Amino acid sequence: MGREVSESCVESLLTEIVSSYCNHFYANKPELAARRIEAIGYQVGHQLSERYTMDRPRFSDHLEAIKFICKDFWSELFKKQIDNLKTNHKGTFVLQDSRFRWLSHMSIDLSSESSGSAQDPSTMAESKAAQATGMYLYFPCGIIRGALSNLGIPCAVSADISSLPACKLLLLNTLRCFSR
């Protein structure tokens, strides 16, 4: 169905998006770069959800929509399904991917980042690496937020990368939508 590109092209594009926005368009303003990247992801997610729901019947409730995100949508994007889905039944969902594909080719080198300051170099290096890696999650978080928004579930999406290569996505405030 449709045209395809090689995965390495997609990965290179993602790397370049982060690099351009962080080092060029919004140099020294990581929050603005992050917001812009997330917004691009939001539009992409909106459009992809339109395409990937084309052959399906309407979702009967928003749990069905979220399951669609975890299975079919995740498979289209990342060639696998979400490994674990948790909810507190009060509007918060946690999606866990044990090996997030878009980070799988990234090496996160902690040892080369020592700065010689008084602070323990390994924690500084770790937080720098975490911050750098975190920038690559704004685009996929935006995609999921855009897809959910188009399916009638406006919410906030954030990523927890404390245990790479696993990635957890948090969906917050999913209940403040339609109440018929």
Q: Binding of other proteins at residue 3 (CB under 8 A)?
A: no
Is residue 43 at the binding interface for other proteins, with CB under 8 A as the rule? yes
What is the side-by-side order of every strand in the sheet holding 84-87?
Answer: 84-87, 93-97, 167-172, 156-160
| C-alpha gyration radius of the chain | 17
**Cis upstream peptide for 165 (omega within 30°):** yes
176 lines the binding site for other proteins (CB under 8 A):
no
Among 16, 23, 56, 156, binds other proteins (CB under 8 A): 56
Out of 3, 24, 58, 89, the residue judged to bind other proteins by CB under 8 A: 58
* Sole binder of other proteins in the list 5, 54, 115, 117 (CB under 8 A): 54
Sign of the C-alpha dihedral, residues 179, 160, 129, 145? negative
Q: What are phi and psi of 7, to 5 degrees?
A: -65, -35
Question: Which residue in 99, 164, 154, 100 sits closest to 126, CA to CA?
Answer: 164
CB of 90 or CB of 180, closer to other proteins: 180
Does 50 help bind other proteins (rule: CB under 8 A)? Answer: yes
- Residue 1 interacts with other proteins (CB under 8 A)? no
CB of 145 vs other proteins, minimal distance in Å? 13
Residues near other proteins (CB under 8 A):
43, 46-47, 50-51, 54, 56-58, 60, 150, 180
